[in-house]
Amino acid sequence: MMVKTETKPKHFLTVTDLTPNELQAVLDAAVELKTRGWITTLKNKTMALVFEKPSLRTRVSFEVAMRQLGGQSLYLSPEEVGLGKRESIADVARVLSRFVDVIVVRTFAQHNLEVLAEYASVPVINALSDYEHPCQALADLLTIYEIKGKLKWLTLAYIGDGNNVANSLMLACAMAGVNFNIASPKEYTIDTSILKKAQTYAKTSGAKIFCTEDPQAAAKDADVIYTDTWTSMGQEAEAAVRRKAFAEYQVNEKLLSFTRNNSIVMHCLPAHHGEEVAVGLLDSPRSVVFDQAENRMHAQKALLAWIFAKK
């Protein structure tokens, strides 16, 4: 019979599960691991990918990351698990904890993650929820760090929906000392609790946070301009309403003219060309979206290494 450990596992449900110093350490580790290629740090470790929502980048980046660290992974589709339907979330957590060393979850609800973490005796990682996308934020900061050579005092302008991606990115920027401007229609502004938490981090890091309904005001003198789809998975019924609400929030050459001359364009993908981003812009020299996509793997390698690092 398995003996339960009393050591509380390191969960990563929100980007703020890292301290600002740990955030920088994970980014530095990602830079190093990117140059090292295949290693055996996580030999004999197994990762379960529990997905309620399909994904190209999240699944492939996590599977390859674990493989390159010497470990193994298995993918569990919505039909195979049925979180809270076929089986209670608590039971899923306790069963998987007997088989694997880490559980990576892509889910519709942050609550599902929190219940899994409560009952799991192994680490749980948020690979996307309705509230945050912290692994994406790690990859985003890694990409900026590589291209700009620093993070502190840069300005990132986020144009569009105050969604899960925006939540994690605002928090991560505030922790790292990156000024964060966000322009959203008033019906789609960022969560108030996220804003308050980010402002607390910004007081320490020196970052400035600016929320507006004006995309041009947000983009002014920005080093990075970032956007995401106007309609996320599960919001398809709102697509027509959202296209109308966000019609003036497209990232295009006109909006880029308000940013710095050497600014870069970011998008977490998948993109709807001609909607949130102008056709052809993601293929332009200013676009770093495919570096950003690749860095999901490298950032997650560093995250997994941090998860299993001895105290």
Measure the CA–CA gap between 212 and 296, rounded to whole angstroms.
Answer: 29
With contact defined as beta carbons under 8 Å apart, do 170 and 199 qualify?
Answer: no
Q: Where does residue 206 fall: left (phi above 0), alpha (psi -120 to 50 degrees), or beta otherwise?
A: left
> What pLDDT score does 311 carry?
43
The candidate with the shortest Cα–Cα distance to 130, out of 109, 149, 150, is 109
The candidate with the shortest Cα–Cα distance to 93, out of 101, 85, 79, 103, is 103
Flag whether pLDDT at 84 surpasses 80: no
Distance of CA 311 to the CA centre of its chain: 25
Widest CA span of the chain, in angstroms?
65
Measure the CA–CA gap between 173 and 175, rounded to whole angstroms.
Answer: 5
The better pLDDT of the pair 238, 110 is held by 110
pLDDT mean over 238-258: 96
- Parallel, antiparallel, or unpaired: how do β-strands 72-76 and 102-106 relate? unpaired
Residue 3 has what DSSP assignment?
A: P
Measure the CA–CA gap between 190 and 184, rounded to whole angstroms.
Answer: 8
With contact defined as beta carbons under 8 Å apart, do 78 and 52 qualify?
Answer: yes
The 10s digit of each residue's pLDDT in 265-288 is 999 999 999 999 999 999 999 999
Flag whether pLDDT at 235 surpasses 90: no
Distance of CA 5 to the CA centre of its chain: 30
Cα–Cα separations (whole angstroms), residue 201 to 84, 176, 179, 197, 238: 35, 9, 12, 7, 33
Q: Which two tokens stand for residue 171?
A: 């928090």
The candidate with the shortest Cα–Cα distance to 139, out of 16, 271, 302, 12, is 302
> What pLDDT score does 48 carry?
98
Element (H, E) at 76: strand 72-76
Instruction: Write phi, then psi, for 50 (nearest 5 degrees).
Output: -105, 105
Flag whether pLDDT at 14 surpasses 60: yes
The candidate with the shortest Cα–Cα distance to 283, out of 273, 275, 297, 298, is 273
> What pLDDT score does 7 carry?
79
Measure the CA–CA gap between 67 and 73, rounded to whole angstroms.
Answer: 8
The pLDDT confidence band at residue 247, using thresholds 50, 70 and 90, is very high
**What's the chain's average pLDDT?**
95
Flag whether pLDDT at 310 surpasses 80: no
Flag whether pLDDT at 2 surpasses 90: no
> What pLDDT score does 71 carry?
98
The candidate with the shortest Cα–Cα distance to 162, out of 232, 240, 244, is 232
Q: Strand ranges (DSSP E) for 130-260?
A: 155-159, 179-183, 209-212, 224-227
Flag whether pLDDT at 5 surpasses 60: no
> What pLDDT score does 241 carry?
94
Question: What's this model's pTM, rounded to 2 decimal places?
Answer: 0.95
Please give the angle made by the CA atoms of 265, 29 and 297, to the nearest 5 degrees.
Answer: 55
Flag whether pLDDT at 1 surpasses 80: no
The candidate with the shortest Cα–Cα distance to 226, out of 295, 158, 132, 151, is 158
- Active-site residues: which are they? 106, 133, 136, 228, 268, 296
Flag whether pLDDT at 15 surpasses 90: yes
Percent of the chain past pLDDT 90, that is, above it, reads: 89
> What pLDDT score does 73 carry?
97
Highest mean pLDDT among 4-18, 78-92, 116-130: 116-130
Residue 230 has what DSSP assignment?
A: S
The 10s digit of each residue's pLDDT in 88-113 is 999 999 999 999 999 999 999 999 99
The 10s digit of each residue's pLDDT in 132-187 is 999 999 999 999 999 999 999 999 999 999 999 999 999 999 999 999 999 999 99
Flag whether pLDDT at 12 surpasses 80: yes
The pLDDT confidence band at residue 82, using thresholds 50, 70 and 90, is confident
The better pLDDT of the pair 53, 298 is held by 298
Contacts of 196 (CB under 8 A, 6+ apart): none
The 10s digit of each residue's pLDDT in 205-226 is 999 999 999 999 999 999 999 9
Domains and CATH numbers, the chain: 15-132+296-308 (3.40.50.1370), 136-292 (3.40.50.1370)
